[in-house]
């Protein structure tokens, strides 16, 4: 790999002076782009004042400020915050918080977390146990807790409504069937990404999907965890991705965009009632060395301030429509592009061998990796994925540039991707 030495705006430069348009914000992290001196100064100033305190003994001003900002931004009464160092820590924390909540409620039999196939919630063992991505799970399967799962919400390859004219939301009602199968008395939580990221290339639920999920969770006393690690902080054109639906989660797990890549940071945001229940039973038995790290919290404060002052959430919605129109033009031009989907500046392309049948390419052709490599040679970074069709086959890309990207830079992104797709079509048998 080349050595990156500098970033400026939406571009990264390597040691040889080559320039790369960051069309995926790293891993949908660098929401504000690269080289922002205002954020760097905020981190440096905090590090000079106070670099570290242990959360068991002290709090700090930036941690408290960030918690207040998150409480104001989160929906409804999600106003209690536990700071961590990234997305995997956030989802792991959400899992443990849900478990401890039910223990505190006097219902220790509730421990299962229902997840969806074609999902990814993190690299730690707890997070991976509730992730539905076969390739990431496979090496660690003997170490993973056995949790129940339901089919993905995946309109392009929906097993429930492909032969019907309209969505019937059976993918959402599948949660009720699974809860009844395993016993609602054992189910602690359901976890889902509002828009699926790495595992499925921006698959997006239809209207009503999360409203049904919320209804089922309420009916059977189940906590709803929204994994906003990728979708949070403007990425989909709303502050939190779940806001596209009329449903409020009980817990939000956040990361990535909360600090826009300027420091390792994540957060869990929970309803007041969850906090009070756990605190009333003696407190949360959990913690990390760098929870509430003052310079990282200062980065979060600076990032959220910029996000709001520069109107970047609304900008992501507008620029996302512009980018999606460009990607749809690529779909018209290139037969291997079977689907374009997503919200805001979190968009996905799925590649197929045959559009009519949606037949995926054989995995050994590595089509998504070929497209990524062809784009990279031309100075564009995009995010590959595979396994969307059947757990092994199925190629997709995530496209998610910084929210600060301009229309001219979006045109450049689409133009380079156009060339890369043409290059791969010439290599891969149709």
Domains and CATH numbers, the chain: 4-30+311-427 (3.90.1150.10), 38-309 (3.40.640.10)
pLDDT attached to residue 163:
65
Percent of residues in the chain assigned helix, strand, coil, to nearest 5: 40, 20, 40
Q: What is the mean pLDDT of residues 212-236?
A: 98
- Residue 177 pLDDT exceeds 70: yes
397, containing H or E segment: strand 395-399
For the packed helices 37-49 and 294-309, what is the interaxial angle rounded to 10 degrees?
150
Q: How do residues 380-409 score in pLDDT, each as one tens digit? A: 999 999 999 998 999 999 999 999 999 999
Q: What is the mean pLDDT of residues 266-282?
A: 98
- Residue 369 pLDDT exceeds 90: yes
Cα angle value 42/44/47 (rounded, 5°): 110
Which conformational region is residue 3 in: left (phi greater than 0), alpha (psi within -120 to 50 degrees), or beta?
beta
- Residue 161 pLDDT exceeds 90: no
What mean pLDDT value characterizes the chain?
97
Q: pLDDT tier at 430 (50, 70, 90 boundaries)?
A: low
Is this structure's pTM higher than 0.85? Answer: yes
Q: How do residues 349-360 score in pLDDT, each as one tens digit? A: 999 999 999 999
Q: pLDDT tier at 370 (50, 70, 90 boundaries)?
A: very high
Cα 74 from Cα 57, distance rounded (Å): 27
């Amino acid at each position: 790999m080349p050595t990156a030495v500098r970033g400026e705006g939406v571009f990264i430069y390597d040691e040889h002076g080559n320039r790369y348009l960051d069309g995926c914000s790293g891993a949908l992290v660098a929401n504000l782009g690269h080289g922002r001196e205002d954020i760097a100064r905020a981190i440096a100033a905090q590090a000079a004042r106070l670099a570290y305190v242990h959360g068991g003994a002290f709090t700090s001003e930036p941690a408290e400020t960030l918690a207040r900002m998150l409480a104001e931004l989160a929906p409804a009464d999600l106003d209690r915050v536990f700071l961590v160092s990234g997305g995997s820590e956030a989802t792991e924390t959400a899992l443990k918080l849900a478990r401890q909540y039910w223990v505190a409620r006097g219902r220790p039999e509730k421990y299962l977390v229902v997840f969806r196939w074609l999902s990814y919630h993190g690299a730690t063992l707890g997070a991976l146990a509730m992730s539905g991505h076969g390739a990431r799970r496979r090496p660690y399967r003997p170490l993973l807790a056995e949790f129940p799962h339901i089919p993905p919400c995946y309109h392009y390859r929906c097993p429930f409504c492909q032969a019907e004219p309209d969505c019937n939301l059976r993918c959402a009602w599948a949660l009720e069937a699974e809860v009844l199968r395993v016993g609602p008395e054992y189910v602690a939580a359901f976890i889902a990404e509002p828009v699926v990221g790495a595992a499925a290339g921006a698959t997006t639920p239809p209207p009503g999907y999360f409203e049904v999920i919320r209804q089922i969770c309420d009916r059977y006393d189940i906590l709803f965890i929204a994994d906003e690690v990728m979708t949070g902080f403007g990425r989909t054109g709303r502050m939190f991705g779940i806001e596209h639906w009329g449903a409020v989660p009980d817990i939000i797990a956040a990361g990535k965009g909360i600090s826009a890549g300027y420091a390792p940071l994540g957060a869990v945001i929970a309803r007041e009632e969850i906090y009070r229940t756990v605190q009333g039973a003696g407190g949360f038995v959990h913690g990390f060395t760098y929870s509430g790290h003052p310079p990282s919290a200062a980065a979060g404060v600076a990032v959220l301030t910029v996000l709001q002052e520069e109107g970047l959430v609304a900008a992501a919605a507008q620029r996302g429509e512009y980018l999606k129109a460009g990607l749809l033009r690529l779909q018209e031009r290139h037969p291997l592009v079977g689907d374009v989907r997503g919200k805001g500046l979190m968009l996905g392309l799925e590649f197929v061998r045959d559009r009519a049948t949606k037949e995926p390419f054989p995995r050994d052709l590595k089509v998504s990796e070929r497209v990524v490599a062809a784009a990279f040679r031309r100075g564009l970074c995009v995010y590959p994925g595979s396994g969307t069709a059947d757990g092994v086959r199925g190629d997709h890309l995530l496209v998610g540039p910084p929210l600060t990207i301009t229309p001219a830079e979006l045109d450049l992104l689409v133009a380079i991707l156009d060339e890369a797709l043409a290059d791969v079509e010439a290599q891969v048998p149709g």
